[in-house]
Amino acid sequence: MEVRSIVLGPDESYELRLTGRGARGYVWTWQVTGDADAVTVAEAPGAGAGAGAGGAAPLPGAPVERTYVVRARPPGGSRARIRFAQVRPPYPNEAPYDEFVLDVEVAAITGGS
């Protein structure tokens, strides 16, 4: 499991790319802990629908990259942890195939002169 830490300003976004295995029945899910109101998470429009190398459609069963957008919400000064887990929904008791943790600090806005 990989763990990454980032710092975002309020309303700043971060794109996270994760390799999908949809042809094998796996999907990425996420859960936000800590200050859950500090961030929003959404799959990017058209994520995973892109073509493979050279503009060709990906081969059947090939991994497909998924893109998720994490956006920090104002006012800042908070922290959230997002745990992404690659699971097969028909098998809820099965351990995740892969996991990724993103620790997000939303920086407080400091006054300028």
69 vs 6, 16, 45, CA distance in Å?
13, 6, 10
Number of H helices, E strands in the chain: 0, 7
Q: CA 9, CA 32: separation in Å to the nearest integer?
A: 18
CB count within 10 Å of CB 89 equals: 10
Per-residue model confidence (pLDDT) at position 50: 47
Q: Which of 70, 74, 69 is nearest to 9 (CA)?
A: 74
pLDDT of residue 79: 96
Q: Say which residue the tokens 């390799």 belong to.
A: 19
For residue 91, count other CB atoms closer than 10 A to its CB.
Answer: 9
Residues 84 and 18: their CA atoms lie apart, in Å, by: 9
pTM higher than 0.85: no
Q: Are 85 and 18 in contact (CB under 8 A)?
A: no
Q: What is the pLDDT along the chain (113 residues), one digit of tens a residue?
A: 899 999 999 999 999 999 988 778 899 999 999 999 999 999 998 755 444 445 556 666 667 789 999 999 988 889 999 999 999 999 989 999 999 999 999 998 776 54
